[in-house]
Chains A and B, each alone.
Chain A
Amino acid sequence: MLQGWFIVLTSFAYIGLLFFIAWYADRRAQAGRSLIANPWVYSLSLAVYATAWTFYGSVGRAATDGVGFLPIYIGPTLLLLLGWFVLRKMIRIARLQRTTSLADFISSRYGKSALLGGLVTVIAVIGILPYISLQLKAVSTSFQILLQYPEIVMPPKAGTAQVMQDTAFYVALFMALFSIAFGTRQLDAAERHEGMVAAIAFESIVKLVAFLAVGIYVAFWMYDGLGDIFSRAAGRPDLDVLLAPLGGAAGSYASWVWFTVLSMLAFVFLPRQFQVAVIEATDERHLKRAAWLFPLYVLAINLFVLPIAFGGLLRFPEGGVDADTFVLTLPMSQHAEALALLVFVGGLSAATGMVIVETVALSTMVCNDLVMPLLLRVKAFRLGEQRDLSLLLLDIRRAAIVAILMGGYFYYLLAGEAYALVSIGLISFAAVAQFAPAAIGGLYWKGGTRQGALAGLAAGFAVWTWTLLIPAFVRSDWISRELLERGPWGLEFLKPTQLFGLAGLDPITHALIWSAIFNAGAYVLVSLSSRQSASEHAQATLYVDVFTQMGEPGTQWRGAASASALQALVGRFLGPARAAELFTAYAHARGVQRIDELEGDRELVRFAELQLAGTIGAASARTMVATVAQEEPLGLEEVMTILDEASQLIAYSHRLEEKQLALEVATAELQAANERLKELDRLKDDFISTVTHELRTPLTSIRAFSEILHDNPDLDPAERQRFLGLVIKESERLTRLINQVLDLAKLESGHADWRSEDLDMREVVGEAVSATSALFRSKGVRIQASLAPAPPVRGDRDRLMQVLLNLLSNAVKFSTPGTGRVEVRLSGDGSFVRVEVEDNGVGIGPEHQAVIFEKFRQVGDTLTEKPAGTGLGLAICRRIIAHLGGRLWVESEPGRGSVFAFTLPVAAEDARAAD
C-alpha cells in the first residue's frame, strides 16, 4: 500500500477533505451560523503553531539535546497565561481598526505609516522563508523515504537533483496552489477566512492523532513501556548523557531561558499566529479556553517525543538514519504500513496548515503593505483611474503566494541541508521576535514614535541578518568560511557568531541578545528624541487606551467627499456590487433611502476608509481616501473650537476649585453650628435642672405645712389658718413659676403669639402705673410719672404691659416702705421711644448688673434669703423687648437706687414722617 501513486492519491484525498471542510465552514458562515466561533476551534486553530518542525524536528532535536526542545512549547504556555491581557488587547484593537495583518497592526499604531508597514513586510517575508523551506524539506523528505519502502534509505541531498525532478519543487508548487485556493478565493472587507480556520483546526486534530499513534506504538508495541525505553537507553553510555542533560548537551540554562522568551514572542508575532490568534479571532473571550486547551494540546504532542527519539536511537544504532525522520522510519522498520501512511498524512497536515496560513498572512501583507502603496504612489501605473481593482488585488496576492513558496524552495536549495529542521525554524523565530519592541511597546507606551519603530526594526533586522542569516549562507558555502573565522576585513570583533567578542553562547541566544539590545535600544532612544505627528499621537492613544475609550475609533477626517465618489472608490477594491451593498446598508442605518441622499460628511469618509482598510490595509486606505476626500486645512473655526474646549476645561477646573473652597467654608460653618448646638444642649440641661430645683422649693413648703395640718387635727385654729395661708401663697408662687417657665419656653422657641399694632406708649405706661398704684400704696411707696408725648411704636400691647408691670413690681419690691420713691419717665425722639423706671432702693452692684437678666439669677444669697421672685421676670422682659427691636438694661449703684430702662423703635411710617 505504500506505492507512489497510492501515497499521492491519499494526499490528494486528504487535501480534498480539507477543501470540503473549508467549503462547509464558509457556507455556514454565510448562513450566519459560524463553525469557528467557539473556543474549541479557536484553541485548535492556534495549534497551527505545531508544524512539520514539531512533527518531525522535535524528535531530531531530542535525539541530540534531550529535553532541549521543550522551551519552544513552554513559552506559549506562559504567554497564553498573559494572553488575557496582551492578546485580548490586540484582538480588540484589530477589530476596531479593521486590521488585516501584523504589518497593518504595527504601521497603524505609528500613524498608518506605509514605510513602516513595508519594512515589517520585508522582514516577515525574509524571516519566514527559512521556515517555509523547512516545511518543504520535511514533506519532500518524508515522501521520498516512504517511496523507498521497505528499504529505509535517506533521500539525496538538496540541490543534487535537477529542479524539474526535485520532489521539493513539486511540493512547493502544489502548496502554492492549495494556499491560493484556500486564501484568495474571494476578497472580503473583513479579511477573515472562516473556511481556512476550520480546515486548520481539523488539521490540528489529524497531526495530534498521528503523532500520538506513533508514540503509543513505539512506547508500548515496539518497547515495553516508557521505563523499558529509558532503562535501555541508560545502558548505552552515548545515550545516558541525554537523560539529565541541562547544562550539558541541551545547552546552558541561559539558552533555556532565551528559547522560552523567543517562543513566547514567536507565538504572537509569527504572521500565521497573528493571523489565527488576532485577525481571525471571533470573540476575545475564547482566549480563556485557549489559555489551558492549547498548552494541553502542546503537552500531548510532546509527550512521546523523548520515547520516540530514544526508541529510534536504539533501533538504528549505526547512525545511518537521520533522527528528524524517526517518526516515520520507526513504523516503517516494523512494517506498520498503515501507521507509516498515517504519519505521512500527519506530517503533511502539519506542513500544509503552516504553509497555507503563513502564505495567506504574508501575501496579505505583501499586497496591502508593500505592493499597493507602491503602485498607488507611482503615477505611471495610473492605478487611480482604473475602475475595478478587486481582481488586481487578488492577483497580487496569488503572485505573492507563489513567489513566497518559490523563495522558500530556493532557500531550501541554498541552506536546507546545512541545518536540522529545528535550527532552521529557530532562525525564523528570531526574525519575527524583532517585531516585539515596536508592537508591544506600541501597545503600552504612548511615547513610541514612528522613527523609533523604524530605527528599532531596522537595527534588529540588521543584527539578525548578520548573526544568523549570513552564517547560514556561509555554512552552505555561498560565502567564504573566512568570514566566520576572521570577521569581515579581518575585524575580529565583528565576527557574525561572536559579535563584539561575545563567545560561549549558541548562535540563536547570541543573536537574540544582540538584536534585543540594538532593537529595543534604538526604539526607545529614537522615540525619546523624536516627535510624533498628530495622527501618530491619535493612533497611539487609540491603541494604548483601547479598553478605556468609548465609541468608534479612527482618525478624524477633517474634510468631505461626495457619497458617489466614495462608493466608486470602495467599489474599485471590493467590486461595485459589494460596495453598493455596503453603502446602501450604511444609508439605511443613517435613516435615508438612497445612497445619493447621503451627506458626504466626515462620518461617511471614515466609514469608507474603514471598509477599504479591511481590504487593502490602513496605510493604503488612507492614501486612497485622500485622493477623493481632500483634507481641509485646519480652519480658524476649528482652531477656535479647540481653544474653546481648552478654555472650557480651564473654567471647569476653576469651578471645581471654587466648589472645593465653598465646601471648606460650609464645613467650617457646620462645625460652628455643631458647637453651638452642643452648647445649647448643655444650656437646656442646665435650665431643666434649675427649673426642677426652683419648683421643688415651694412644693417642699406646701408638703411640709400640709403634713403638719394632716398629722395634727387638733391644731390651734389660728395656727391652722396661718399654715393654710402659707400653703396658698406657695401654691400661687408655684403657679406663677410654671406660667413663667411656659411663657419663657414659648418666647425662646419662637412659638409665642405676637400681635402687632401701633401703640401710644403714654397711654400704655399710664395704664401700667394706675394698675400698680394700689400695690404702691399698700407698700407705702410713692410713684411719680412724667410722660412726655412720644411717637407711636409697633408692638404687642399685652406683652409691653407685662414688661412694665414686671419692672414696676420689681421697683416696689426693692424699695424701702415709707421712704421709697419710684419715678416713671417716658421720652421719645425721631427714631426711639425710651421708658425709664427709677427707684431709690438698695441698688445693684456692678458685678450683678449683667446676670440679673439671666434665668433664675437673683441678687442676694439664694440659700439664706427667701427668694423674692421667680428669677424669670427680667429674662422674659429682656426677650420681649428684644423681639420688638429694642433694648433693656439697668444703671445702678449699690445704696443709691437703680434705673431700669428700655427703648423701642418708632413705628416705620412715623419714623419716615419724622425724617
Chain B
Amino acid sequence: MPKPASRAHRIVGLFLAACLLFNYPLLAVFNVSGTVWGVPILYAYLFTAWGIAILLAALVVDGRE
C-alpha cells in the first residue's frame, strides 16, 4: 500500500492552497457586487475561505499524525 503523504508535505500543500485562495485571480472572481444573505460577496468569500483555511490548519498541523 502506498505510504500516506507526510505531515510536512501536507502542510506545504495547505500553505500553497491558502496562498491561492487569498490572491489574484481567485480574488477577482469574487470581487463583484452583490450580496449573500445581505453580506457583500467579497467580504463573505474572504471570511469563509479564511475559516476553511483555519479548519484545515487545525486538522493538518495540529491533528493526529
Interface residues of A (CB under 8 A from B): 67, 70-71, 74, 77-78, 80-82, 84-85, 225-228, 230-231, 234, 243-247, 253, 256-257, 260, 288-289, 291-292, 295-296, 299, 303, 306
Contact = CB atoms under 8 A, between A and B. Distances in A.
B23 A230 contact: no
Nearest to A71: B22
Contacts of B15: 78, 81-82
B40 A78 contact: no
Interface in B1-52: 8, 11-12, 14-15, 18-19, 22-24, 27-28, 31-35, 37-43, 46-47, 50-51
Nearest to B21: A74
A244 B31 CA distance: 6
B24 A295 contact: no
B8 to A, nearest CB: 7
Contacts of A84: 8, 11, 61
A743 B18 CA distance: 84
28 contacts: A70-B46, A71-B22, A74-B22, A77-B18, A77-B53, A78-B15, A78-B22, A81-B11, A85-B8, A227-B35, A227-B37, A228-B38, A230-B35, A230-B38, A244-B34, A246-B28, A246-B42, A247-B31, A253-B23, A256-B24, A257-B24, A291-B57, A292-B54, A292-B57, A292-B61, A295-B50, A295-B57, A299-B51
Contacts of B38: 225-228, 230-231
Interface of B: 8, 11-12, 14-15, 18-19, 22-24, 27-28, 31-35, 37-43, 46-47, 50-51, 53-55, 57-58, 61-62
A253 B27 contact: yes
B62 A295 contact: no
A105 B27 CA distance: 37
A80 B42 contact: no
A299 B53 CA distance: 11
A547 B43 CA distance: 41
Contacts of A77: 18, 50, 53-54, 57
A77 B24 CA distance: 17
B54 A295 contact: yes
B63 to A, nearest CB: 9
Q: Which of B23, B38, B51 has the most CB of A within 10 A?
A: B38
Nearest to B51: A299
Majority SS of interface residues in chain B? helix
Contact of B27 (A226, A231, A256, A295): A256
B62 A291 contact: yes
Contact of A244 (B8, B11, B42): B42
B62 A292 contact: yes
A246 B23 contact: no
A288 B51 CA distance: 17
A-B pairs with the 4 shortest C-beta distances? A227-B38, A292-B58, A253-B24, A292-B57
A311 to B, nearest CB: 14
For A70, A228, A289, A292, which residue has the most chain B Cβ atoms within 10 angstroms?
A: A292
B33 A243 contact: yes
A226 B42 contact: no
Given A226-B39, A244-B33, A292-B54, 7 more contacts: A67-B43, A244-B34, A244-B42, A246-B27, A256-B23, A295-B50, A295-B53
B23 to A, nearest CB: 6
A226 B41 CA distance: 13
Contacts of A253: 23-24, 27-28
A234 B37 CA distance: 14
Contacts of B50: 74, 77, 295, 299
A257 B47 CA distance: 17
B43 A78 contact: no
Given A288-B62, A299-B50, A67 B57 contact: no
B30 to A, nearest CB: 9
A299 B55 CA distance: 12
A74 B23 CA distance: 11
Contacts of A257: 23-24
A296 B54 contact: yes
Contacts of B27: 246, 253, 256
Contacts of A256: 23-24, 27
A230 B34 CA distance: 11
Contact of A67 (B14, B19, B42, B54): B42
B65 to A, nearest CB: 11
Nearest to B23: A257
A288 B11 CA distance: 11
A303 B23 contact: no
A289 B8 CA distance: 15
Nearest to A253: B24
A247 B22 CA distance: 14
Given A84-B61, A292-B62, A78 B32 contact: no
Contacts of B19: 78
B35 A78 contact: no
A227 B44 CA distance: 12
B28 to A, nearest CB: 7
A78 to B, nearest CB: 6
Given A288-B62, A303-B47, A81 B41 contact: no
B35 A81 contact: no
Given A82-B15, A292-B54, A295-B57, A260 B22 contact: yes
